[in-house]
Every structure is written in structure tokens, then in C-alpha cells.
A and B are shown apart, each in its own frame.
Chain A
Amino acid sequence: MRAGRRIAPSFVVVALVLGYAVGTAGGLLPDRADAPQAPQPSAQTATVALPNRDGSLKFAVLGDWGNGSRQQIELAGQMSKLRERFPFELVITVGDNIYGSNNAQSLRRRFEEVYKDLITADVKFYASLGNHDDRELQRRYTLFNMDGKFYYTFKAPRQDVRFFAIESSYLDVAHIGWIQKVLQESGEKWKIPYFHHPLYSSGRRHGSQDQIRTILEPLFIKYNISVAFAGHDHFYERTKPQNGIVHFVVGSGGQLRRGNIELRSPLTAKGFDTDQAFLAVEIDGDELFFNAIARSGQIVDSGVIQRRQPPQ
């Protein structure tokens, strides 16, 4: 059963629906020019090592990955290698977890065998769903930790962090109401949404999903989100802060669309589309450190983002 459909629609959701129904499409939520300008997180461009501090939250981000290719396996090898010195304890996935037939065998071959080292080391995978995923199978698959839900939230095992796995291909009234409710109720300093379809992307193939952005971005601004993780476009990209939020596209975990980043895109702070890559992240206090690591082991992007401070 959809998690959020059990929740009675809030006033806001009812207003959203009725507002749209009376023919004011597109005018419900603030457009970008109207959005409050929150303090911008800073992201350095020089290589920044992950500090690997005691007590910090360490995790990885992986997207568009389960194709069973040699490249996916080699990237998984880099993840295992990193974990020997940087003991991340969870992986969030931004969808398209399994390509092609989704069945018990493909879950074994394209997931359990490929990430065996991590699974054995008790690294937890928390999946979100992409448009290639068998939703019924994956939401119930124990190792994806979705607890039978299409969208869900969980508190990180350390630091003041909460994650929100969103099902971006189906944002209906119940889902939007749920997002609003859980973001509002969350008292954690870091609220980290992750989902498949990027609100901002410089991909020539898919690019920014502006219809989803119309719904999600005002909520992200309102509830003081600092970073969001997505996939769908098959490369790595970090955007310049958009309305105060840094967007990562990490659709480079197995599939790759070489040369697909629009070179003249004004969005890009850093892009990498010539090899598979994943993202390693560390949160300590108000700082989020990140390293994007390619299949070769090369760090192709790094930096530190300061958490946005809530408006006074």
C-alpha cells in the first residue's frame, strides 16, 4: 500500500487540488523569481578530502546502476575500496536500480553479487524508485529497506540528519501531502530528499524536470533543504546553488551517456560524463563534504557545503 495514501489530505493539498481545478494551473506555487532567497551554500572548487571524522555520518549515493555490466562491477569495486578507509554505513539509491527484467535472479546478479562486499559489511541500501524499476518487487525487497512503501523517510544512524525517499514519477495528492507533512514535522537540521527525476540537470537526453520542480522546489525552499540527490540523466553533475539548494545528479552508477552534459549549461558547477561514478558524502555538524569518485578511482569532484540556516 502506498505509504502516504493513508494520510488525510492536509489543507494545503486540498487547496492545491481545488486551486488547480478552478483553472489556475501553474500559478499555485511560487515561481523561481518569487522564491525567497535563502543563504547560498558554499561549494569549493579545489579538491577537498573527506575528513573521515569520528561520529560523522558517512554515506554513498548511487543511481542508474543495475545493468550487470563490467563497468558497474568495477565501480562497485571502487566503493568497496573506499569503504576500507572511509567506513560509510549506508547507500542511498536514486532509482533505476535494476534494468531489464526485474526478478529474483536479476536482483541477485545485478545487486547482491555486485555489492557483496558492502552487503556483507552490513552497509544498508535505502532505495528510491526510478522509471525502470519493478515497484512491487523492489519496495518489498528486504535489502532495499523500503519497508513495503513507494516513498518513505528515515533518520540517519548518526548526526542530525533525516532522509526522504520520494517517488518522483508519481506525485499525486497523497504523495505531495505526505512530503509536506514529513518535511514540516522533521526537526532534524539536515533534511535530505532523494529521488529519480532531477529538478535541475544539464542533460541533453532528459534535462531538468520542471513540472516536478514546480511542486517540490517551493517545499524544499520552505523547509530549508540544502542539498537534493537525483539521477535519470546518466552522468554526474553538481549544479550551482538553485534558490539556495545544491542539486546532485548521480545517474552514473552503471549506465552512462557519454558526452551528454550540455557544455554551455548555466546550471553546472561541475559535470562528469566520460565514465561511471558514485558520490561519497560525509556530514559533520553543519558541513557536508562530498567526493565524486569515478570507476578509475579518480576524484572528479569534491567540496564542502554549509547547511543553509533557517530564515530568522
Chain B
Amino acid sequence: MTILAGRLARQWLRVALATVAMVALESGSSALDAWPVQNSQNRDAAQVADFQKRVKEYADLREKLKQTLPTLAEQAPPEDIQQHQRALERLIARARAAAKRGDIFTQPIRAYFRRQLSRVFSGPDGARSRRTIMDENPRTIRLRVNSRYPDGSVLTNMPPQLLLLLPALPPQLEYRFVGEDLVLLDLESAMVVDYIDEAIDS
């Protein structure tokens, strides 16, 4: 077995042990039930579930809207690709005209994300992660929900270690940084779906 596989197996064992411990805690004494870490884990799980529900609602809406557009031909010229992109953008903007910052990243969800981000950026890998996102960071972009990510603007490189820690997204969405703000971007329409300002400490 390779070193990689060996390490992963050891990691897996740790995860399994942690899971067993969690199960034991869940079925354990009332004293253990009140353990603050347990409560915090439950709270985090609830925030992740709420975030994923909100994100799915968005993804479902934009898929429904997309289906009202003519299908883009496989060999479509760039003009058609851009027209399709703009048409989707208009539909989403109209359907979400009342959308505002915090609709998806609600206050408790923001708090959860900030804690997760803090684990990375305040941890042993923090300086490297900061260097990664600040390498060609488009910090002058002014973010607004439902606005288009400016054409020709650079995209930040996302540390993979961070992406592994944040909740997974449906294929229509991704995370990026603008300055220290964490942005939820719609890939196809290039629209800002929501964002957390000053998501990491400067």
C-alpha cells in the first residue's frame, strides 16, 4: 500500500473513531449530552443544513429559469454563448429582484462560515492560505447581490484546503474571494448570489 493510502487509512480510522465517540456521546449520560462541544457540533450541522437548503432553492430556481431559454447549441459561436449568459442573468435578476445580502448567508450561517474560515486562516496554514487568496485578488470590485461579476476581472485562486472544509455546493455555484469578502458566484450567469463581507480577519 502506498504512503498516501496508508495515511488516508489512518485518517479514516481517526474519523471512524470520532464517529464512534459521537455516537457514544449521543446515547450517553445526560451530563455528556450537555457537553458544549456536542452542542456546538449540533449547531454547526444545523447551519450547514440550512445553508444547503437555501443554496438548493437558488439552484432549483435558476435551473427552472434556464429551461425557459433556448438550448445553447454545442457548436455555438461566442456571441451566442454570451447572449445566452446575459439572458440567464436577466431572468435571474428579475426573479430575484428583492434578493438582498444575507438571504443565503444568514447571520447564523455567516457566523458558522467565519468560524470555519478562522480555522484555516488562523491555523498553521493560515499565512499560506492568505497568500493564495491575495495573489491577484480583485479587491476593488464593489459587490452587490444580483450584480454581474465584472467582465475581465481576475478570479482568486481558492486554497483547496479551504474548499475541503466549506459545505459542498451544487454544480451551478462556487466560492471565491473579493478582498476579504467570501462570494457565492453563479457560474453560468457570473452573478453574485450572496456574499459575506470581511469573512476573514484582515
Contact = CB atoms under 8 A, between A and B. Distances in A.
Contacts of B125: 25-26, 211
Contacts of A103: 78, 82, 151
B161 interface: yes
Contact of B11 (A28, A135, A222): A28
B36 interface: no
A276 to B, nearest CB: 20
A23 B37 CA distance: 14
Interface stretch (B12-20, B100-108, B194-202): B12-20
Interface residues of B, number: 52
Contacts of A16: 8, 11, 164
A18 B136 CA distance: 30
Contacts of A34: 3
Contacts, number: 151
Given A30-B4, A211-B132, A131 B78 contact: no
Interface string A147-173: 010000000000000000000111111
Interface stretch (A212-220, A260-268, A277-285): A212-220
Given A15-B12, A30-B7, A173-B168, A131 B161 contact: no
A254 to B, nearest CB: 16
Nearest to B12: A15
Interface in A1-55: 1-2, 5-6, 11-12, 15-30, 34-36
Contacts of B91: none
Interface string B160-202: 1101110011011010000000000001101000000000000
A91 B188 CA distance: 26
A132 interface: yes
Interface in B1-34: 2-4, 7-9, 11-12, 14-15, 18
B65 interface: no
A102 B151 contact: yes
Contact of B157 (A15, A135, A209): A209
B75 interface: yes
Contacts of A12: 8
Contacts of B159: 211
Contacts of B157: 131, 168-169, 197, 209, 212
B70 interface: no
Given A101-B151, A131-B136, A170 B85 contact: no
B72 interface: yes
A176 interface: yes
Given A29-B7, A131-B155, A173-B168, A136 B160 contact: no
Interface string B17-58: 010000000000000000000000000000000000000000
Given A19-B12, A211-B128, A137 B85 contact: yes
A201 B28 CA distance: 53
A15 B11 contact: yes
Interface string A127-145: 0000110111100111000
A210 interface: yes
Interface string B119-162: 11001110011001001100000000000000110111111110
Nearest to B187: A136
Contacts of B160: 171-172, 176, 211-212, 214-215
Interface string A72-110: 000000000000000000000000000111111001000
B11 A211 contact: no
A204 interface: no
Given A104-B82, A136-B81, A210 B187 contact: no
Contacts of B97: none
A206 interface: yes
Interface of B: 2-4, 7-9, 11-12, 14-15, 18, 72, 74-79, 81-82, 85, 119-120, 123-125, 128-129, 132, 135-136, 151-152, 154-161, 163-165, 168-169, 171-172, 174, 187-188, 190
| 9 shortest interchain CB distances as A-B pairs | A19-B11, A104-B78, A171-B160, A5-B171, A18-B15, A172-B163, A101-B152, A169-B157, A30-B3
12 contacts: A1-B172, A5-B171, A11-B12, A15-B12, A15-B15, A16-B8, A19-B15, A21-B165, A131-B155, A132-B152, A136-B187, A171-B158
